[in-house]
A and B are shown apart, each in its own frame.
Chain A
Amino acid sequence: MCLQTVIYLSIYLSIYLSIYLSIYLSIYLSIYLSIYLSIYLSIYLSIYLSIYPYPHTPLCRPAKISKCSYLMRCSAHPCLDRIDSGLSIDNDLLPPSLLPPPLHSPALPSPPLPPPLRREMGFVERRWRDVRVGDFVKVVSNEVIPADILLLHTSDPNGVCLIETANLDGETNLKQRKVVPGFAAAPTSPFKPAAFKSTVVCEKPNNDLNHFSGYIEKPDKKKLGFGIDSLLLRGCTIRNTEESSGIVVYAGHETKSMLNNGGARYKRSRLERQMNIDVLFCVVLLFSMCLIGAIGHALWLETFSSIPPYLVADSDGHFIPSTLAGFYMFFTMIILLQVLIPISLYVSIELVKMGQVYFITQDVDLYDEETDTRVQCRALNITEDLGQVQYVFSDKTGTLTENKMVFRRCTIMGTEYSHSENAIRLAVLGEADASEDEVTLFQQQQQPSLFAGDPGESIKRCHSTQVDVSGSQRSKVTTGSQAQSALAFSSPLETEVVPDRKLLQVVLGAEHQGEESGLDRSLYLDFFVALAICNTVVVSTATAQRQRVKGRRNSCAPRTFLGRLQGVLKKIASPQSLFRIVKDKQEPLSDPFAADEECPDLSDTPTIYSTAVEGGGPKTRARVTTAPRPAQRQGAEPGSASLVDDDVCYESQSPDEAALVHAARAYGFTLLERTPDRVTVRLPGRGVALLTYEVLDILTFDSTRKRMSVLVRHPHTHEIILYTKGADSAVMELLEEPADETVSQREFRKGLSSSTQRHLDMYARDGLRTLCFAKRVVGQKAYEEWSLLRQQAIAAIENRAELLMDTAALLETNLTLIGATGIEDRLQDNVPETIEALRAAGMQVWVLTGDKPETAVNIAYSCKLLDQRDLVFTLSTDNKAVCKSRLEGTLQEVRRYGSDTAFRGYAEGLRGPGAGSLGEDPTIGLVIDGRTLGLALEEEDLRSKFVELCRHCRSVLCCRVTPLQKSTVVKLVREKLRVMTLAIGDGANDVNMIQAADVGIGISGQEGMQAVMASDFAISRFKHLRKLLLVHGHWCYSRLSNMVIYFFYKNLAYVALLFWYQFFCGFSGTTMIDYWLMIFFNLLFTSAPPIMHGVVDQDVSAATLLSTPELYKMGQHSEGYRRSAFWIGMVDAFYQSLVCFFIPYLTYRGSDIDIFAFGNPMNTVSLFTIILHLAIEINAWTVVHWVIMLGSVLAYFAVTLAYSAICVSCNPPSDPYWIMQQQMADPMFYLVCLITVVVALLPKYTVQVVRGTLRPSTLLYAKQLERLLPRPQMEEQIRIDASEAPPTPRFRLSDLSSPSPPDSPLPPPPTTPPPHPTPHPPPATSRIVSP
């Protein structure tokens, strides 16, 4: 018996399952697999293989790595043994880590090296994956560093190596790395790995990019310590250094950059997660239906006193007991009703998403002409998440900004120089951005007429020499991944500054009059000197600038000159004894502006001059020359100077410093050279008048002081001068107030500071980054006293940073204000508009940046992230307790404030609708720095407080955060607030964040491909985010949510039809519809319309969505796909299936109709109901809609007619032969179909209509408003919109959708749109509140 049941069940299941599975698998999966997988794989592989520039995820990308580092493996060499033995020497403090990576550990020297190489002891090219710990690696300029390498040798005479860390932290400036101190060999001699006999001990691999420590133990037991500044990090690029060699300390997955990679996360869209719960509901529903069937069958069997003729016994003539029959029936029912579990839904969703992705990538508005890139959808499964984003986390550099700093204005001695010519030039530049060659032409024609003087000349020359290179880099044709990486560097057009004419005259005048002028003049000069030297800019030559160098670089004269200069300086200055030089070096000249001794060195390169003479022109200004030089060269000097200009390039930690140096250069104050001990500036007008200041100290920038200073000794006067540059708040407080000044002097000073302050406020309002410049002349004695303190501070072990800061603050007092500058970090196009739109769409925009707080705040203001009226809280502390108390304090304040505004809003609400709008209240912004953030993220308690605080803030700015912190913040917000997060970034430092967020967006084309590779969507400009989210996101979400609900509805509506029949067939599992037709029903007749709906339906047009971002909120609040919508759909499905079943049932009851003729009208009415149900949902009928909807109906009739004409006895027991034809010849069939469809859809239709009339949704309003504008106008609008101006007629749906008495006519007449909220006159400064 038991065996029989098992056999029976297995046969039954196998038959049904084989049919179902064969059909599902063969058809669905073949479609799915063939289309989806092939496309996905082809896209994925093609992206992966063709675009991927170099292997960041390592060790596993064979053939593609053509570029390799030079590698020398010392497996046959004692050095490795030394290292290994060094490992065996246990050090208590620093655990040894120089083990080979565990993956390859047993057989370390696995790749056999060609024997000859070992003998020759030369470097060989090897792939990255072959690099092992302990290898000596030589990396040449512009190569990517393959592992974490301890720098042991560089070709630079100073033992420095410049690297670009854009892949790690997004900063495009150069960073300096030094050879392990004390290890430096003679720079001229090549590095000999064979001579390395020391042991390297360092810490275990960790993910801290900013810390590293260890020591080298020399054979003579002398230990040389090193830190992070001797480590070349994997993923960085060597710049401006011909070659660097070192020993690998971490390789592969142990490198710091790899440990910072959080790893990819499998992403599933929120809608699908919600949907999965509903699938569970469907399962529950299925089981309850099956249970009803099973119990019903058992009870039905119980009613018979004896066996009726229609009960069929088993093959052996026995009947199974009714309970067992009921038990079996449960499984029969599962097979019968399993369509309720929407397997096809998953396949359809994939197809829909593929269609959506297709349309997103086809959007011409998301195409960037400049880089010839479309939007890339790399993740095919989360398109609808784009429509639900609530938090946007953005990187700053390269994402919001172009990372191009431009000097815009300055104020010197209380006089503002607006640099209007420069502004015009920039404006022109912005317009003609597409083609830079034109700009170049324009520049060349314009400038000579504007500026006859030599500074203009120099600029012209600059352009003519440099633009060609960069122009070709930017032009479309040659754009490739390699060229793109070069885009990150500021193009000279943007760094060049056209001098303000008035200021130029003053400067030149000041220079002419020299010393006989008063205080004013020298301060003007001081201003520019401060501009030029008060920074940490690295000077390099243009030829060394980041070009791909193959083999040996062309050495050229200026480079040789500088090299020689450096060599000379090297001889004079030894790095250890700073103060000795000061004493030793005796300047022969007493004239403060006399040229330096090194001048003859420069003038000894006549070959350059000869080429440059042509640009010289009549030069008469260089008459005041005290430098001893041959007179015949004077005419050529300006030209030669400009040539030198051309060859100098500035690389800076912060781009604004570079911008200042460029600005100074525009006025002739050219920073020529910088070494740790001295800085050389060329003065304008006097030919090659060089001033070499000795740098006594650099008081580096920190965020507490908000300023930096340079302490220099003037070469001629030997005055010790402190130049300070910093935020206005930091500098203005420290201005001198000498006791012995006269009244007029005090008046003058006060007037000066107040007018400067006024100008600064103006700059800040314009979104410029402001910096104040001040100077102080320090007496020799005061300096010596101070330097003692300073030395103690430097030597200190504990609290070193604080001591350094304190000593710096000691010196930075009693400053004399010189002036201030305004610098613009150029935002990308339309960034403020985009952020405004995202805000209006209800998204919170956060900026997470590795940059300084000041910079970030400035950018935040200029991109409208922070408003001048906002209440900004700043959290910055090192101490945990302080952090905690501040967090709490801020939170309380914010809460109080929030309740205030809430109350006010409530009160205003009472007064009348529309009286108080949200935008007028100042909102809260939060600025937090990385260390504080780290503290706040440490403890659970603090974390929740932080999140709570952030929830109250409209915008949050996190500065100085590490890549890992970025992702932590994103994860925190995502998990604590349960919101949909989007992260957008362009650099490798954003990879973690991009992967942690629900939606990761990479900006392509700026800083390599890491961000793009990790992203789900890759766009080329930040402004594209607007259309991507507001239009495509909205569409995808509303389409998909409609589609999913519809799918659930559709399945239930059809399955319930079969279920109702069970009540009339003794719960025996009979279907009244031929099962082929049943399968076709889901597969062919009703599958295309929902997919089409999911791909092409538009609830509102793109133009409306762009102009009314409020519509986006629908997705954020998950209004499209709600549990209620699901259940309404289910109830509707039940109702419709009841109608579809019982109207034919009542019609045919008691007649002689047979099973399948009875099922046929039901199948037909179900089809019509289901199709027309969708038709009610469809918002815009295009040709595609008509074709697919009508096509589905026609396909149904065609297939059914053909099937019932052909299949005579092919499909027992249903035998559809001639049923359809018979039915279609019967007028009753049509009458039944007509009334059933009408009755089934009447409630849905009526509810839709009544709701649309009584309580129209925001979307409906948008649709109605859209109707008022003819289509072309909308198109125009979107064009305008997309370019820059805000849309002229802007609908404010916040007004429309506010609840109001029904008889008040709500929508404003379209001819008079509500006035765009005009910005209020902002108060003078932002309120920075730090509790």
Chain B
Amino acid sequence: MRLSVAAAISHGRVYRRFGLSPRSRLDLLRNLVTALVRYERIETPWARADEMRGYAERLIDYAKRGDKDERAMRMADFWLTEKDLIHKLFKVLAPRFQPHAGSYTRLLQIPNRDGLDRAKMAVIELKGNPLPPLVRPRRDSDRTLLNQLLKGYRQDAQRARGT
């Protein structure tokens, strides 16, 4: 039940509060971004993944500018705590996403965490990663009405072409 309407109104504030302070919030998100760049698919609470998504996509936009750019290099240096990932960002991820204009990540919800907190978990992954896909696109079964009608139409067309 809605305990307080006032608690849900944010008056246009878009950034969630994490950790102990604004610095701590950025550090937390920085660790998550580093992990995402390293493993390309991570499982975290949904709120953190959602917050981190914006930063990850902007980081890739900066990386697309090229590593000669002073500002891009400073951003990558701040956001990636493990310095070998800076090379991966500029040499592997930037060319991979060069044809796209945006939306380099995919966020999918998974069943709640098993611990006491039952937190809403999500999986965030970079598109085009080498791991097996999370969602297999399933074709509709042959038994549906529409597919049966289409099958019949195809067979009639073949018979008409044959004779």
Whether both chains belong to one complex is answered with no
Residues on A close to B: CB < 8 A?
none
Interface residue ranges, B against A (CB under 8 Å): none
